[in-house]
Amino acid sequence: MGLNAFFVYTVCIGFGLSYANALVLILIEGLVFIMLTVTGLRKKIRISSWIIAALFVAMLILTH
């Protein structure tokens, strides 16, 4: 139910897209995630995102 609410209020109403266009975007997003998983890039992106998040937190701590 939460995903349905996100889809309707954020994607369709918020971005002003029709239901058909929003569904095509979600299909493309799903295909991109499948390709990232099959090629193994998803694991590398996950590791690099942890490193970037840790560096961001360290920067926040050091600047204050």
Nearest to 36 by CA among 27, 48, 46, 26: 46
Q: How far is Cα 38 from Cα 58, in angstroms, rounded to an integer?
A: 33
Q: What is the pTM assigned to this prediction?
A: 0.55
- The pLDDT of residue 4 is 73
Residue 12 tokens read as 């369709």
SS3 47: helix
- The pLDDT of residue 6 is 77
CB 8 within 8 Å of CB 23: no
- If residue 37 lies in a helix (H) or strand (E), which one and from where to where? helix 19-39
pLDDT digits (tens, 9 = 90+) for 14-40: 888 888 888 888 888 889 888 888 988
- The pLDDT of residue 1 is 60
Q: Which sequence spans correspond to the domains of the chain?
A: 2-63
